[in-house]
């Protein structure tokens, strides 16, 4: 996205019509200047929240009071949200959250932000306000805290993980010694964070196009081990799809269920991580691959080929149709076998025969084998 297209966004224009003194802030400015897609627009304004709500309402824009205690309201234009926050200054911080007061000082508001590349703001005419050298840092690929790194980290220890998230996406220059020391010294504070916030940032780190160097530096400093001691293995993360769960599985060295439980992963993510750890290596003949497909989810097997680095097997596997065993319990009963445990036992025996044969036997062939195992006449004959 160019800055020009950014400034002509119609939804943003509606908000600016109501709040002409507002500026777009943070990530939207950063990504527009970097020529990247902008997903969300956040704005700041010196107006207090009640005045912001009144101005939007008078302009016919729907407004939702999403975070009045922190000075935030959300304008909704054609179904799109635009978060608008009154300029703030920190009154008190405890390493997790801040008590804030409103201000009309743009520089004071920018000074409380985490990194220079996130501390810029832009007016409707395209003027960029950059009090801390964010544009130069963005161009150079430098991720740098606003002001003293140790102070910024002590305000919110999540900034340690956020640093590596931005390093993975924007960084090309190694952090300076003061930043490295502040990151290392802040490790004990990570234990004060909720696991949900930790996983949210780890997921975004692992979703970067190539987080290899960022993760390696986290490990060098001891940060990675502090937050995911169950996943400290080596892996060529850039060789894997930008899939956080798949990359986490590639690094796994401990109990996947324990890790998923501790980080409070969603049920879907938990189950997938456990399956990935249990999925066998994929390879062998076409018959071997069909057997695997019959017993495992196809996507789990594809994921395993990524973890194994086997592109050839992945191509073969992707071209195969998943075989489905053609019999059910009712087929056994239909042959006169009484309902009960023997039905399941016979079905398992025939399925094993089908699997041993490479999962290619037809339904008729399986029915014939079922009759044989049940000591019944062959299909099409009478006693």
Residue 234 confidence (pLDDT):
87
The pLDDT profile of the chain, 383 residues, written as one tens digit per residue, is 567 677 788 899 999 999 999 999 999 999 999 999 888 899 999 999 999 999 999 999 999 998 887 899 999 999 999 999 999 887 666 656 666 788 999 999 999 999 999 999 999 999 999 999 999 999 999 999 999 999 999 999 999 999 999 999 999 999 999 999 999 999 999 999 999 999 999 999 999 999 999 999 999 999 999 999 999 988 889 999 999 999 999 999 999 999 999 999 999 999 999 999 999 999 999 999 999 999 999 999 999 999 999 999 999 999 999 999 999 999 999 988 888 899 999 999 999 999 999 999 999 999 999 999 988 655 444 43
Q: Where are the beta strands (DSSP E) in 22-171?
A: 23-25, 42-45, 62-67, 72-77, 80-86, 88-93, 98-102, 121-122, 128-129
Assign domain 141-240 to a CATH class: mainly alpha
Task: State how far the Cα of 382 lies from the Cα of 374, in Å rounded to an integer.
Answer: 15
- Per the CB < 8 A criterion, the answer to whether 93 and 154 are in contact is yes
- In CATH terms, are 1-140 and 141-240 the same topology? no
* Residue 129 CA to its chain's centroid (Å): 31
d(CA 272, CA 256) in angstroms, rounded, equals 10
Backbone angles phi, psi at 338, to 5 degrees: -60, 145
Domain boundaries 1-140, corresponding CATH code: 3.30.460.10
pTM of the model: 0.87
Strand 98-102 vs strand 88-93: parallel, antiparallel, or unpaired? antiparallel
Domain segments of the chain as ranges:
1-140, 141-240, 279-318, 329-373
Question: H helices within 190-310, ranges in order?
Answer: 195-206, 212-221, 223-227, 244-251, 256-262, 267-278, 286-295, 298-308
Predicted pLDDT at 337: 87
Element (H, E) at 17: helix 10-18
Residue for token pair 């161009």: 139
Contact 99, 90 (CB under 8 A): yes
């Amino acid at each position: 996205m160019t800055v020009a297209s950014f400034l002509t966004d119609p939804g943003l224009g509606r908000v600016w019509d109501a709040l002409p003194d507002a500026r777009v802030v943070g990530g939207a400015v950063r990504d527009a200047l970097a020529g990247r897609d902008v997903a969300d627009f956040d704005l700041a304004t010196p107006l207090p929240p009640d005045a912001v709500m009144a101005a939007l309402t008078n302009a016919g824009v729907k407004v939702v009071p999403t975070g009045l205690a922190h000075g935030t309201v959300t304008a909704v234009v054609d179904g799109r949200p635009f978060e608008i926050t009154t300029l703030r200054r920190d009154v008190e911080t405890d390493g997790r959250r801040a008590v804030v007061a409103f201000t009309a000082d743009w520089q004071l508001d920018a000074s409380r932000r985490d990194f220079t590349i996130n501390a810029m703001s832009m007016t409707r005419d395209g003027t960029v306000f950059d009090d801390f050298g964010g544009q130069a840092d963005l161009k150079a690929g430098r991720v740098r805290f606003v002001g003293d790194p140790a102070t910024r980290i002590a305000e919110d220890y999540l900034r340690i993980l956020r640093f590596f998230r931005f390093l993975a996406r924007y960084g090309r220059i190694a952090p300076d010694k003061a930043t490295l020391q502040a990151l290392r010294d802040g490790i004990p504070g990570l234990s004060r964070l909720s696991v949900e916030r930790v996983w949210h940032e780890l997921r975004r780190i692992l979703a970067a196009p190539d987080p290899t160097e960022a993760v390696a530096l986290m490990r060098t400093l001891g940060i990675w081990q502090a937050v995911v001691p169950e996943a400290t293995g080596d892996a060529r993360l850039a060789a894997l799809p930008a899939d956080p769960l798949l990359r986490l599985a590639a690094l796994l060295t401990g109990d996947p269920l324990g890790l998923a439980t501790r980080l409070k992963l969603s049920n879907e993510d938990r189950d997938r991580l456990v399956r990935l750890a249990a999925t066998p290596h994929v390879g062998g003949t076409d018959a071997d691959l069909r057997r695997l497909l019959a017993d495992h989810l196809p996507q789990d097997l594809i994921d395993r080929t990524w973890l194994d680095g086997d592109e050839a097997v992945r191509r073969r596997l992707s071209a195969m149709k998943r075989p489905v065993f053609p019999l059910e319990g009712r087929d056994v009963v239909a042959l006169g076998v009484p309902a009960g445990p023997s039905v399941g036992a016979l079905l398992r025996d025939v399925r094993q025969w089908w699997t041993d044969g490479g999962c290619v036997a037809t339904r008729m062939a399986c029915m014939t084998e079922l009759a044989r195992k049940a000591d019944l006449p062959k299909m099409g004959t009478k006693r």
